[in-house]
Amino acid sequence: MKLLARGFILLVLIFLYLPIAVMALMAFNASPLYALPFQFSTEWFEALATDDVLLTAARNSALIAVATAVLATLLGTAAAVALHRARFPGRDTLRVLLLPPIAIPWLITGTAMLLFFFWTGIGRGLHAMLIGHVALAIPYVVLVVNTGLSGVRRDLEEAAKSLGSTPLHAFFAVTLPLLLPSVIAAALFAFAVSLDQFVISYFLATPGVVTLPVQIYAAIRKGFTPEINAISTILLGVSMIVILGFAWLSKAGGALERR
Amino acid sequence: MHLSAVDVTAVGKSYGGARVLDNIHAQFREGSFTSLLGPSGSGKTTLLRIIAGFVAPDTGRVRIGAQDVTTVPVHARNIGMVFQSYALFPHMTVADNIAFGLHRRGIRGAELQRRVADVLAMVKLGDFAQRLPKQLSGGQQQRVALARAIVINPTVLLLDEPLSALDRRLRQEMQVELRRIQRDSGLTTIFVTHDQEEALTLSDHVAILDRGRIVQEGAPIAIYERPTSRFAAAFLGDANFLSGRVVEGGLQVGTQTIRISGTVTPTVAVRPEKMTLLPEGASTDGFDNLLPATVRQVVYAGAATTYLLDGADGTPLRVFAQNREGTPAEPGSRVTLGWSAAHTIPVTD
Amino acid sequence: MTAATPAGASAKAPPRALPGWVATVALLLPTYAWLTLAVFLPLCAMLLFSVLTKAPFGNVHPQLTTANYMVFVRQPYLLDVAWTSLKLGFLTTALCALIGLPAAMALKLGASGRLRSVLFLLIILPFWTNGLVRIFSWTMVLREDGFLDMAVHAIIPSAPSAGILFSQSAIVIGLVHGYLPYMILTCFISLLAIDDSLIEAARSLGARWPVIFLRVILPLVVPGLVSGAILTFVPVIGSFMEPRILGGRVGVTMGTVIEDQFTAAFNWPRGAALSFTMLAVVLAIFATFSGVLRQSAARADASS
């Protein structure tokens, strides 16, 4: 039975990683048309270095992702602390209100943003995409930080207060250091969410001001160049590393908080 | 003028519809060790947390030292608190934990080091300064928590069932240590516990709480020997309860008239160790009160024996007898219980 | 030792604590203000647009109308498109469930401890990477002269082209690939919550595996299955990127139609109306299954 189970999982993993592996492989293939036999080459990666369009798009993506990570983590952590600690009527409603950004199909949210931003003069472009990305990332940050907060014991802050800490000092001296792994994990998550975001960026982009996924999409629709392969592989690799970092941090955080 | 260190006046607190504390008046003398004793739900922890400042009372006032602190937040009350789970900061060393409160008071440098070292010596953990809490045993963590609270020289030391997580032997050791440290430091101490033995051993003063009210308070020996209510008599130690009709000269219980010292009430209490078991035929001279009973069960424990008996009307009774004679009475045998009027305590129900 | 009062206290008036709600509001306001600006107001604006005759830009003064919502009546082909989208949703969800539940069970049965965590991470990892890139990678496999085509011809040289790109099947494959990890995740979390002793008790009472599965495991895994299904179905019916890339001309869904209204036809009021109709469907689904979803969320919280 166990063998059967493991075999099935293997099949699933093959299914999941096959196309990705093929793409990565082809990124290193000299032929521009995927013709086999396979010839190792890094020319497509080198070509990237001179492809201004892709480079600009990549730079935009990275900038927005970093900004999203910072903003979403700040806002989301504050909200998570308030939602976790304070008791007030309507708290559950507020919690539910965090769901729309992730539960509603991004097509709907994206077109709504486009419509609203255009109408109110906020316009499209990098700043608009930032607004959208942060809104999408905040619920995830709140989720991750909330889980971390559950692991920090309440009486630690009380002990700090009994020794003379103001509530603010108690938070920064006791709670935050213990919460830090979760906060950093949340920041990584927000970074990944922003980096991989396509739909919202698509609707809020203007010609010339695009993020990497949007540019890749345009290139796919126009016709294929192998550089797309290369940049996609890089993007995939970066996402994976960030998520792996997040996973490691979430586990590492637990060890310090528990006695 | 000898001002009490902590003063609680007319404090009340409700949660939802439930009245957790009702009209609490209490004074805690400077340098005294007071236990707040009661079963779970009695409000003792809530009272402690109101004194600490974590909970605001609905009514009443709290004074610590010369200050009315009712509206003052926790961090400004100059209290020292030891939590049930110790609440040591896991990301700081023992020394940093202890120094925390001193830092908040602006104490730095050489004086900080000296005071941390002094208090560590006082709790006998001098070598443990650089350890992390997770490297310490339960008993050691407890002592660090205590050191952290007393090093800041608070106006009052508050302890919330700090020994409940320790095993029996360690607990008894810590009780002795705690008392020694309290005497040496002279700190006014308020100690919450549900363990009546602990309260009796440690305290100068005990306040018994039941369902939000202080039912009795006083020195341990006073409230043990003279409980005023059925609850106090049963919660602090064991007690036999006899009920009957109030008559001229005492209480009519069955065919006996029980003589009492003080005002007669329908229910009286007698401590089990104050009764003497008189086997059939033994002399009954010298006892104010006598009651026939049948031995139901004998619990032999070496130095002492507990007898569980049934009175004439079926009332359950128990007697603690020191093992002087060597041969305990048999189950089923008929005996007479004898005790003095002075040990018959009138209690309210 | 002299008594020292902490920094916060003064000899004169004792400090009063700020009312707690001030801090709470300060912490919550930035987040919810941002969400209002970015999500809630836009949705309201979209609702408004959907009942206008024209987009209110420039000097245009549009009037109120329900014509945009009536478009389903006027252009019946949209009903076909809607139906196609729903079918796509059902098919994808069904396939994800059929593969995902056994996979989750296989993960629970076939591995434990470290190995299980590693395998789980490997399964989940693709889900958190770029969806566009993953779909793009499928074009490489499914196109003519792509990986699949070449593999088939390597075994059966005379077979017709196995390049199935630009077909409904390709879309389904891409979507299933995208959402399978998530379905495995929700089923797995549900399965983890099932106490092994329940299964042992059933076996000791004489039950065989089919019975155990039907009567013990399945009922307890249903919440995970349902929440995974909903959170697959909802995004799928709104997808436009996958149908376009993998379906080409064949890939027409509600998602692509809506996208067209905004980027090609520039009929924003109509796009808004169609969007809002889809939103209504989505909210209806969530409302119907809210009980199950909340239960799964609570379990996910507890096991994390």
Residues B252 and B264 sit within 8 Å (Cβ to Cβ): no
The total of other beta-carbon atoms located within 10 Å of residue A14's CB is: 10
**Segment A87-146, tens digit of pLDDT:** 888 888 888 888 888 888 899 999 999 989 988 888 888 899 999 999 999 999 998 898
The Cα–Cα gap between C29 and B177 comes to 50
A130, A2: one domain: no
Q: Inform me whether the C-beta atom of residue B104 falls under 8 Å from chain C C-beta atoms.
A: yes
Q: Does residue B82 register a pLDDT over 90?
A: yes
* Percentage of chain A lying above the pLDDT 90 cut: 32
**pLDDT of B182-230, one tens digit each?**
988 889 999 999 988 899 989 999 999 999 999 999 999 999 999 999 9
Question: For position A139, which CATH number holds?
Answer: 1.10.3720.10
Size of interface A-B (CB pairs under 8 A): 68
**Residue A12 pLDDT:** 92
Q: Residue A196 belongs to what H/E stretch?
A: helix A176-196
DSSP characters over B184-222: HHT-EEEEEES-HHHHHHH-SEEEEEETTEEEEEE-HHH
Residue A46 lies in a domain: no
- For residues A221 and A111, membership in a common domain is answered with yes
Read off the pLDDT band of B112 (50, 70, 90). Answer: very high
Q: Which residues contact B175 (CB under 8 A, 6 or more apart)?
A: B163, B198, B201, B202
Which residue type is seen at C212?
I
Q: Cβ A163–B90 below 8 Å, yes or no?
A: no
CA distance B321 to A148: 57
DSSP annotation string for C147-201: HHHHHHHHH-TTSPP----SSHHHHHHHHHHHHHHHHHHHHHHHHHTS-HHHHHH
Q: Is A164 on the interface with B (CB under 8 A)?
A: yes
Alpha carbon distance C105, C194 (integer Å):
11
Is pLDDT at C299 greater than 70 in this prediction?
no
Q: Which residues contact A137 (CB under 8 A, 6 or more apart)?
A: A68, A69, A72, A76, A189, A190, A193, A194
Rounded to the nearest angstrom, the minimum Cα separation between C213 and chain A is 14
pLDDT at B17 (0 to 100) = 85
pLDDT at C12 (0 to 100): 41
Does any domain span residue A37? Answer: yes
The full DSSP string for B3-71 is: --SEEEEEEEEEETTEEEEEEEEEEE-TT-EEEEE--TTSSHHHHHHHHHTSS--SEEEEEETTEE-TT
The reply to whether A165 touches chain B by the CB within 8 Å rule is yes
The DSSP string of A160-180 is HHHTT--HHHHIIIIIHHHHH
Instruction: Give the pair of three-digit tokens for residue A238.
Output: 């970066």
| Whole-angstrom distance, CA of residue A124 vs CA of residue A118 | 7
Distance from the Cα of A178 to chain B's closest Cα (Å) equals 7
Residues of chain A found within 8 Å of residue B89, distances taken between Cβ atoms: 156, 159-160, 174
Residues A5 and A116 in one domain: no
Distance CA B306, CA B300 (A): 7
Query: Using a CB-CB distance cutoff of 8 angstroms, which residues of chain B are in contact with residue A148?
Result: none
Q: Which pLDDT does position A254 carry in this prediction? A: 46
Q: pLDDT-derived band of residue A247, with 50, 70 and 90 as boundaries?
A: confident
Q: Which of B69, B81, B144 would you mutate first to test chain A, the one with the most A CBs within 10 A?
A: B81
Number of domains in chain A: 2
Percent of chain C with pLDDT over 90: 15
C1 touches chain B (CB under 8 A): yes
Q: Which residue has the higher pLDDT, A32 or A5?
A: A5
Q: Cβ separation of A135 and C34 shorter than 8 Å?
A: yes
Residue in B with minimal Cα distance to A159: B87
CB pairs under 8 A between A and C: 255
How many whole angstroms from its chain centre is CA B271?
18
Which candidate, B167, B231, B173, B230, places its Cα nearest to that of B202? B173
Pair A236, A113 in one domain:
yes
Confidence at B1, pLDDT banded by 50, 70, 90: very low
Taking residues B30-57, what's their average pLDDT?
Answer: 92
| Residue contact B153–C15, C-beta within 8 A | no
Strands B18-28 and B245-247, bridge-based pairing: unpaired
Statement to judge: residues A65 and A15 lie in one domain:
no
Chain C contact for B71 (CB, 8 A cutoff): yes
Judged by CB atoms within 8 Å, which residues 7-26 of C form the interface with B? 7-9, 14-17
Q: What is the DSSP letter of B273?
A: G
Whether residues A111 and A155 fall in one domain: yes
At A13, is the pLDDT very low, low, confident or very high (cuts 50, 70, 90)?
very high
Position C248 scores a pLDDT of 82
The nearest CA of chain B is from the CA of A67 a distance in Å of 30
Rounded to whole angstroms, the Cα distance separating B253 from C169 reads: 94
Kindly list the partner chains of chain A, i.e. chains with 3 or more CB atom pairs below 8 Å.
Answer: B, C
Is A252 a residue whose pLDDT tops 70? no
The answer to whether B319 and B277 are in contact (CB under 8 A) is: yes
- Classify strands B267-270 and B240-243 as parallel, antiparallel or unpaired: antiparallel
Between chain B and chain C, how many beta carbons pairs sit less than 8 Å apart? Answer: 47
Per the CB < 8 A criterion, the answer to whether B248 and B254 are in contact is no
CATH architecture of C76-303: Orthogonal Bundle (1.10)
Residues 31-70 of A with CB under 8 A from B: none
Same domain, A66 and A30: no
**Chain C stretch 122-181, residues whose beta carbon is closer than 8 A to a beta carbon of chain A:** 122-123, 125-126, 128-134, 136-141, 145-147, 150, 177, 180-181
Evaluate if residue C7 carries a pLDDT over 60.
no
CB contact under 8 A, B90 and A165: no
> pLDDT digits over C273-289, tens only?
888 888 888 888 888 88
For C15, which DSSP code? P
- Considering only CB atoms, which chain B residues are within 8 Å of C9? 72, 76-78
pLDDT surpasses 70 at C219: yes
Residue C161: both structure tokens together: 């082209």
pLDDT tens digits for C12-62?
444 555 667 788 888 899 999 999 999 999 999 888 888 887 777 776 777
Residue C302: pLDDT band by 50, 70, 90 thresholds? low
Strand pairing report for B213-218 and B289-300: unpaired
Q: What ipTM score was computed for the predicted complex, to two decimals? A: 0.84
C-chain residues near B69 (CB < 8 A)? 14
Residue B22 near residue B168 (C-beta atoms within 8 A):
no
Using DSSP, how many helices (H) and how many strands (E) does chain A show?
Answer: 13, 0
- Tokens representing B315 are 């009332």
- Partner-chain residue, chosen from B76, B115, B153, that has the shortest CB–CB distance to C9: B76
Give me the residues of B, 22-61, that contact C with CB < 8 A.
Answer: none
> ω into residue A37 within 30 of 0, thus cis?
yes
The predicted-structure confidence for C80-134, as pLDDT tens digits, reads as follows 888 889 999 999 999 999 999 999 988 888 878 788 888 888 888 888 888 888 8
For the beta carbon of residue A65, count every other beta carbon within 10 angstroms: 25
Taking only Cα atoms into account, the Rg of chain B, rounded to an integer number of angstroms, comes to: 24
For B163-178, what is each residue's pLDDT tens digit?
888 888 888 888 988 8
Strand partners, B292: B336
Between the CA of residue A187 and those of A134, B14, C41, what are the distances in Å? Answer: 11, 42, 26
Whether A163 sits inside 8 A of B101 (CB atoms) is yes
- More confident of the two residues A223 and C103: C103
Quote the radius of gyration of chain C (alpha carbons, Å): 26
Exposure on the CB side of residue B172, measured as CA atoms within 13 A? 3
Query: CB contact, 8 Å: B181 with chain C?
Result: no
The pLDDT of residue B54 is 92
pLDDT at B142 over 60: yes
Question: Domain limits at A244?
Answer: 51-258
For C19, nearest residue in chain B (alpha carbons): B73
- Rounded-to-integer distance, Cα B74 and Cα B81, Å: 11
Decide if A180 is inside a domain: yes
**Cβ-Cβ contacts under 8 Å, A238 against chain C:** none
The answer to whether A155 contacts B101, with C-beta atoms less than 8 Å apart, is: no
Please name the residue of chain C whose CA is at the shortest distance from the CA of residue A93: C32
Asked if A119 lies within 8 A of C255 by C-beta distance, the reply is no
Q: Which H or E element spans position C258?
A: helix C254-263
What angle, rounded to 10 degrees, do the helices at A176-196 and A226-257 form? Answer: 160
Nearest to A259 by CA among B167, B97, B142, B89: B89
Beta bridge partners of B11: B24
> Both A90 and A170 in a single domain?
yes
Look-up: residue for tokens 């739900």?
Answer: B41
Strands B276-279 vs B289-300: parallel, antiparallel or unpaired: unpaired
Pairwise CA distance, residues B123 & C122, whole Å: 51
Q: Cβ of B76 and C16 within 8 Å?
A: no
Taking the CA of residue C68 and the nearest CA in chain A, the distance in Å comes to: 16
Check whether residue A72 and residue A100 sit in a common domain: yes
Q: Tell me the mean pLDDT in the region C130-157.
A: 80
> Which residue in chain B is spatially nearest to C17 when comparing CA positions?
B73
Beta carbons of C6 and A164 less than 8 Å apart: yes
Give buried/exposed letters for A203-234 (b at 16+ CB in 10 A, else e). Answer: bbbeeebbbbbbbbbbbbeeebbbbbbbbbbb
**Binning pLDDT at 50, 70 and 90, where does residue C136 land?**
confident
Given a contact cutoff of 8 angstroms between Cβ atoms, the answer to whether A99 and A139 are in contact is yes
SS3 content of chain B, % helix, strand, coil (to 5): 30, 35, 35
Choose among B81, B90, B152: nearest Cβ to A259: B90
The sign of the torsion formed by the CA atoms of A27, A33, A34, A39 equals negative
Alpha-carbon distance of C137 to B67, in angstroms, equals 73
Give me the residue spans of the domains in chain C: 76-303
Q: Using CB atoms, which chains have 3+ pairs under 8 A with B?
A: A, C
Going from the C-alpha of C5 to that of each of A165, A256, B153, the distances in angstroms are: 12, 32, 9
Helix (H, G, I), strand (E, B) or coil at B269: strand
Contact A158 B54 (CB under 8 A): yes
pTM here? 0.78
Mean pLDDT, chain C, rounded, equals 81
Q: Please answer yes or no on whether A256 and B90 come within 8 Å at the CB atom.
A: yes
CA angle C288, C293, C294 (to 5 degrees): 115
DSSP string, C76-107: THHHHHHHHHHHHHHHHHHHHHHHHHHHHHHH
Which residue is it, tokens 């001296």?
A: A173
C-alpha–C-alpha distance, residues B205 and B216, integer Å: 11
Distance (Å, whole) CA C7 – CA B223: 41
Residue A259: what pLDDT?
Answer: 29
**pLDDT tens readout for residues B293-314:** 999 999 988 888 899 999 888 8
| Contact with chain A for residue C80, Cβ under 8 A | no
Q: Distance between CA C51 and CA B12 in Å, rounded? A: 59
Structure tokens at A25: 């492989």
Q: Is the per-residue pLDDT at C153 higher than 80?
A: no
Average pLDDT of every residue of chain A = 85
Measured in residues, chain A has a length of 259
